[in-house]
Chain A
Amino acid sequence: IMSPVLLKLSEKTTTNMICDLFQNSEDIRCKCICPPYRDIEGQIYKQNVSLKDCNCLHVVEPMPVDGKDVEAYCLRCECKYEERSSGTIKVTIIMYLSILGLLLLYMVYLTLLEPILKRRLFGHSQLIQNDDDVGDQQPFANAHNVLSHSHSRPNMLNKVEHAQQRWRRQVQEQRKSVFDRHVVLS
């Protein structure tokens, strides 16, 4: 039971947060590059102004020349308006790093932890589960297997286990073709 004021407030803060995430006020800028002029060094000026104010007179501060030279100086300066979205960058990088981290963890789990866990749970006798010589040379072999995998138990865990086993076998096949026998992908 939230009072309408609180509700409106939380709504506003959420939209503000989303707005801040995706449109930072720092995300626009006008960049003016001014080449060397007479005895003045070249300079770069940046300010976050909007598109209509993006010209030499508004951005170049303090103006290094005075009076009648201002026009000649400003003629050589080049001003460009640029926009970016720092929220997109942040979200992309964090998503990328998290997916990378998850994949690395899964890889570590598959190569190191899973055999240890399996050995502890099922004992030594059933360790030889993964069929290393499934990679039948004949590609025609799996014509027989097409109809054979339809007896699935309704158990969810078994389905996941089954799918994972099938995926691992596929990856092993691929690894054999690419890395060992060098048949595909040189």
Chain B
Amino acid sequence: MDTSGFRTGSLDSLHHPSDVDDDDEMVDIAGATLDFSHTDDDPPLGSGDYEERGGSRAAGMNGNGPNKMVDPLEDPLPGLGTYEDFNTIDWVREKSKDRDRHREITNKSKESTVALLHSVSDAFSGWLLMLLVGLMAGALAGGIDIAAHWLTDLKEGLCLVGFWFNHEHCCWTSNETTFQERDRCPQWQSWAELITGTSEGAFAYIVNYLMYIVWALLFALLAVALVRAFAPYACGSGIPEIKTILSGFIIRGYLGKWTLIIKTITLVLAVSSGLSLGKEGPLVHVACCCANILCHLFTKYRKNEAKRREVLSAAAAVGVSVAFGAPIGGVLFSLEEVSYYFPLKTLWRSFFAALVAAFTLHSINPFGNSRLVLFYVEFHAPWHLVELVPFILLGIFGGLWGALFIRANIAWCRRRKSTRLGHYPVMEVLVVTALTAVLAYPNSYTRMSGAELIAELFNDCSLLDSSQLCGYKPPTNTSKTGVGNSLADRPAGEGLYTALWQLALALVFKMMITVITFGMKVPSGLFIPSMAVGAIAGRLLGVGMEQLAYYNHDSFIFKGWCSPGADCITPGLYAMVGAASCLGGVTRMTVSLVVIMFELTGGLEYIVPLMAATMTSKWVADALGREGIYEAHIRLNGYPFLEPKEEFGHSSLTVDVMRPRRSDPALAVLTQEGMTVGEVEALVESTRYSGFPVVVSQESQRLVGFVLRRDLLISIDNARKRQEGVVSASQVVFTEHAPAQADDGPPPLRLRGIVDLSPFTVTDHTPMDITVDIFRKLGLRQCLVTHNGRLLGIITKKDILKHMAQIANRDPDSILFN
């Protein structure tokens, strides 16, 4: 059919994938009908000359004859084809630009060896970029781990052998460590010892307390000052904004080099200041910054926003992979939580990059024991089916806590946005840090960092442990122990009772302080605090179950499987399940969470309890509130994020949502000839639309194409400066052949090159769910609405989002961006 040649390369290659060697099988158009039959004016293509190939509208400016073929590899006018800040990209245009470029390279590669090498290197540039991203992100993560460990310990004391050693490394070679006090050695001096000379007594305690608070305040002050002075985009977690960026939004500078430097430096400071936050979310941001910076080395990714987002999806996987030492979990996290489109090619490349990063981190060896994460679990104790009941209870707790936390945190953040609380960010950070430090120091479980707390809670107690949490009464008969050093269930001793009430206080404290900490103007993540809350709850329940089993081993619940003297209940496992369920309740992760936890434990034994708890927590949390924490923050900030998973259940038609409505002024259109430069400029300046449809004439309203405001302004500016004779009275011509005109008139301005000749259209009676589906699947920004073949109106992504907000009884004016 000869109208098929009209369409830009995008739709064509979707229907004929064998033409182009392209495995982007992600877009599936369902139901949209697009019809392009013209009867007069421009003859349909295929009847001779055509002046542009594929989707490149970039060149073909004034003065070019109609027969010039456009080379997609040439540089167009600078600025043409780029996007404004805080705007959405045009996915279809970017993808078709890339396909054209690829086709051009493939065609040229048959001509000479140099061109062949160029095509081979182009194909491998993606893999090289992934390798570099993995290396850089792994190295940065290793540096962050080492520095954060050291700074955290700096609050307590100093190493005399070399000030760069943290507590554990200071006492690494010392032989003065004892079984009971594993971290006491003469090379490490606490501040009380350094200042006053003593390490015992009330005075030393007060000096230590004061120094702890002073250091915490100093770190927090430095962090917020640096963020404010150099890179205000470096605060927060970063994942909501990255989700929006990956769906097509542009935030210039969010993934730049200053943001990278400041985020890395201040993340270490924020984590070390004792605040209840983690570093996993910011690590995703850091990895995406690395990827964005490295994209500038490769033309293929620098110029194309859609390809760049593929790399950013892979970088998000790298971020989680180095945070947890879980490459597969990272890829699934990127697939499930962060990415909007995830083609198969990206899956393989993300996995490669995540592996490279994990390997780099492993060789840096930040913890000195070849582990990538502090809370690696090494036990393989079995569990019994009856224990599924407490696991499901933990899931319910996780779901409840998740829903409540999201509500509380969003309410607090909203207060920060709208009231005077938001005018004093530095003061707010200092007050919260002081509060956290003052309340956290007395309890040893809140004094230690989140990752250390989780590590201790995940630990299964054996004879080799001497911590307070393992303070059981000694076994009555020392020769009758289990396999190796694992112990039968024992009654709780003094140490354990102390640990239990301290843990209960820590639980309450952490639950409340994380609500006001997340979202402050320092880099903050919430994986570790959520996992800590869940781990504490899980451990408490686990110890409770253990004591119950010990004292009631004759009752019917425990009789079959828990005989006295056997090791049946493992509180460490309960802590792990609790951590997973709380994290799942907050973020609503499912598969990725289970895989991350299973990679942390290194075994398949615990998959069933983890899945049971995660599913329960997700269902309970979904029953109480529909969104996870990241979607809630996206909604709070008003980003134009069209949720890909939500169902659109309302039965409205496109004509109800499109603009202009009845009370609005008429649609602002450009005619394909007959307007002067002055008129076009006046129209563009008087409105704030980001694009204008081009019609044949005002009476007929037959559609020619769509032109973007930015391209229009750039072209007119350029023509006024560079081209002779273009004045306000020059005619603007969007057709192929300029109309004949008087000889004394100024030459016309030919702008056919910037018009998108294949805008997507739907009819006014298209149901809204099909329209929303089209927007989601194709990544559209706007869609024209026709009625009986004539242009009726336009519907944009913002209109759809406002409509969805109205249906859900939310404020439609909360959608701020285009």
Name B110-165 residues within 8 Å CB distance of A.
142-143, 146-147, 150, 162, 164-165
CA A139 to CA B714, docked complex, whole Å: 15
Q: Mark B426-441, 1 if CB is under 8 A from A, else 0.
A: 0000000000000000
Name B74-101 residues within 8 Å CB distance of A.
78-79, 82, 84-87
Please classify how large the interface on chain A is, using the bins under 10, 10 to 19, 20 to 34, 35 or more: 35 or more
Q: Is B369 an interface residue (CB 8 A)?
A: yes
CA A111 to CA B564, docked complex, whole Å: 70
CA A184 to CA B637, docked complex, whole Å: 6
Contact between chains at A93 and B637 (CB < 8 Å): no
Q: Is B241 an interface residue (CB 8 A)?
A: yes
Which chain B residue lies CB-closest to A96? B147
Contact between chains at A143 and B84 (CB < 8 Å): yes
Which residues from chain A contact B369 at a C-beta distance below 8 Å?
80, 82
CA A140 to CA B83, docked complex, whole Å: 10
Q: Is A123 an interface residue (CB 8 A)?
A: no
Which chain B residue lies CB-closest to A85? B365
Residue of B225, B230, B364, B717 touching A88 (CB-CB under 8 A): B364
A171 with B230: in contact, given A46-B175, A48-B173, A139-B84 (CB under 8 Å)? yes
Contact between chains at B721 and A147 (CB < 8 Å): yes
Q: Is A58 an interface residue (CB 8 A)?
A: no
Name B406-436 residues within 8 Å CB distance of A.
413-414, 416-418, 422, 425
Most chain B beta-carbon neighbours within 10 Å: one of A82, A84, A143, A144: A143
CA A139 to CA B228, docked complex, whole Å: 22
CA A165 to CA B231, docked complex, whole Å: 15
Contact between chains at A179 and B425 (CB < 8 Å): yes
Residue of A99, A147, A185 touching B235 (CB-CB under 8 A): A185
Q: Is A65 an interface residue (CB 8 A)?
A: no
CA A42 to CA B165, docked complex, whole Å: 27
Q: Is A127 an interface residue (CB 8 A)?
A: no
Q: Is A26 an interface residue (CB 8 A)?
A: yes
Q: Is A76 an interface residue (CB 8 A)?
A: yes
Contact between chains at A83 and B84 (CB < 8 Å): no
Name A168-186 residues within 8 Å CB distance of B.
170-171, 174-175, 177-179, 182-186
Nearest CB in chain B: distance from A36 CB, A:
8
Q: Mark A84-101, 1 if CB is under 8 A from B, else 0.
A: 111011101111100110
Contact between chains at A185 and B464 (CB < 8 Å): no
CA A33 to CA B225, docked complex, whole Å: 45
Contact between chains at A186 and B164 (CB < 8 Å): no
Residue of B82, B177, B222, B717 touching A147 (CB-CB under 8 A): B717
Q: Mark B256-270, 1 if CB is under 8 A from A, else 0.
A: 001001100100100
Count of A-B contacts judged by CB separation below 8 Å: 174
CA A160 to CA B364, docked complex, whole Å: 36
CA A110 to CA B718, docked complex, whole Å: 37
Which residues from chain B contact A140 at a C-beta distance below 8 Å?
84, 688, 690, 709-710
Contact between chains at B173 and A43 (CB < 8 Å): no
Contact between chains at A178 and B232 (CB < 8 Å): yes
Residue of A26, A78, A96 touching B464 (CB-CB under 8 A): A78
Name B613-636 residues within 8 Å CB distance of A.
633, 636
Nearest CB in chain B: distance from A19 CB, A:
17
Contact between chains at B178 and A183 (CB < 8 Å): no
Which chain A residue lies CB-closest to B262? A103
Q: Is A9 an interface residue (CB 8 A)?
A: no
A175 with B232: in contact, given A85-B365, A94-B164 (CB under 8 Å)? yes
Contact between chains at B222 and A29 (CB < 8 Å): no
Q: Mark B660-694, 1 if CB is under 8 A from A, else 0.
A: 00000000000000000000000000001010000
Q: Mark A27-44, 1 if CB is under 8 A from B, else 0.
A: 001000111111001111
CA A34 to CA B721, docked complex, whole Å: 84
CA A48 to CA B229, docked complex, whole Å: 47
Which residues from chain B contact A37 at a C-beta distance below 8 Å?
478
CA A80 to CA B464, docked complex, whole Å: 13
Q: Is A3 an interface residue (CB 8 A)?
A: no
Which residues from chain B contact A34 at a C-beta distance below 8 Å?
179
CA A77 to CA B647, docked complex, whole Å: 59
Q: Is A104 an interface residue (CB 8 A)?
A: yes
Contact between chains at A184 and B241 (CB < 8 Å): yes
CA A41 to CA B179, docked complex, whole Å: 8
Please classify how large the interface on chain B is, using the bins under 10, 10 to 19, 20 to 34, 35 or more: 35 or more
Which chain A residue lies CB-closest to B236? A185
Contact between chains at A170 and B253 (CB < 8 Å): yes
Q: Is B713 an interface residue (CB 8 A)?
A: yes
Q: Is B182 an interface residue (CB 8 A)?
A: yes
Q: Is A142 an interface residue (CB 8 A)?
A: yes
Q: Is A146 an interface residue (CB 8 A)?
A: yes
A185 with B637: in contact, given A84-B365, A89-B146 (CB under 8 Å)? yes
A96 with B714: in contact, given A139-B85, A171-B231, A186-B519 (CB under 8 Å)? no
Contact between chains at B231 and A174 (CB < 8 Å): yes
Q: Mark A64-83, 1 if CB is under 8 A from B, else 0.
A: 00000000000010101011
Q: Is B333 an interface residue (CB 8 A)?
A: no
Which residues from chain A contact B147 at a C-beta distance below 8 Å?
92-93, 96
Residue of A36, A107, A186 touching B417 (CB-CB under 8 A): A186
Contact between chains at A185 and B241 (CB < 8 Å): yes
Q: Is A138 an interface residue (CB 8 A)?
A: yes
CA A82 to CA B368, docked complex, whole Å: 7
Most chain A beta-carbon neighbours within 10 Å: one of B82, B169, B463, B633: B463
Nearest CB in chain B: distance from A145 CB, A:
9
Nearest CB in chain B: distance from A110 CB, A:
7
CA A134 to CA B636, docked complex, whole Å: 27
Q: Is B466 an interface residue (CB 8 A)?
A: yes
Residue of B143, B226, B633 touching A103 (CB-CB under 8 A): B226
CA A22 to CA B4, docked complex, whole Å: 65
Most chain B beta-carbon neighbours within 10 Å: one of A46, A83, A103: A103
Contact between chains at A183 and B717 (CB < 8 Å): no
Q: Is B659 an interface residue (CB 8 A)?
A: no
Residue of A42, A48, A186 touching B637 (CB-CB under 8 A): A186
Contact between chains at B179 and A86 (CB < 8 Å): no
Contact between chains at A76 and B79 (CB < 8 Å): no
Which residues from chain B contact A45 at a C-beta distance below 8 Å?
175
Most chain B beta-carbon neighbours within 10 Å: one of A144, A167, A175, A186: A186
Q: Is B27 an interface residue (CB 8 A)?
A: no
Q: Is B651 an interface residue (CB 8 A)?
A: no
CA A93 to CA B154, docked complex, whole Å: 12
Most chain B beta-carbon neighbours within 10 Å: one of A36, A82, A93: A93
Contact between chains at A107 and B226 (CB < 8 Å): yes
Contact between chains at B173 and A29 (CB < 8 Å): yes
Residue of B86, B164, B222 touching A90 (CB-CB under 8 A): B164
Which residues from chain B contact A41 at a C-beta distance below 8 Å?
179
Which residues from chain B contact A100 at a C-beta distance below 8 Å?
222, 265
CA A85 to CA B150, docked complex, whole Å: 15
Which residues from chain A contact B381 at a C-beta distance below 8 Å?
none
Most chain B beta-carbon neighbours within 10 Å: one of A35, A36, A82, A138: A35
Q: List 13 A-B contacts (CB under 8 A).
A: A45-B175, A82-B368, A93-B150, A99-B265, A100-B265, A103-B230, A139-B84, A140-B688, A143-B713, A147-B79, A147-B717, A170-B252, A179-B228
**Which A residues fall within an 8 A CB radius of B?**
26, 29, 33-38, 41-46, 48, 76, 78, 80, 82-86, 88-90, 92-96, 99-100, 103-104, 107, 110-111, 138-140, 142-144, 146-147, 167, 170-171, 174-175, 177-179, 182-186
Sample of 13 more A-B contacts, CB < 8 Å, known A80-B369, A139-B87: A42-B179, A42-B466, A43-B179, A44-B182, A78-B464, A83-B365, A90-B162, A90-B164, A146-B714, A147-B718, A171-B231, A184-B241, A184-B637
**Which B residues fall within an 8 A CB radius of A?**
78-79, 82, 84-87, 142-143, 146-147, 150, 162, 164-165, 169, 172-175, 177-180, 182, 222, 225-226, 228-233, 235-236, 241, 251-253, 258, 261-262, 265, 268, 364-365, 368-370, 413-414, 416-418, 422, 425, 462-464, 466, 478, 485, 519, 521, 633, 636-637, 688, 690, 709-710, 713-714, 717-718, 721, 816
Q: List 9 A-B pairs, minimum CB-CB distance, nearest first.
A: A42-B179, A84-B368, A146-B79, A35-B463, A93-B164, A178-B232, A182-B417, A174-B232, A143-B713
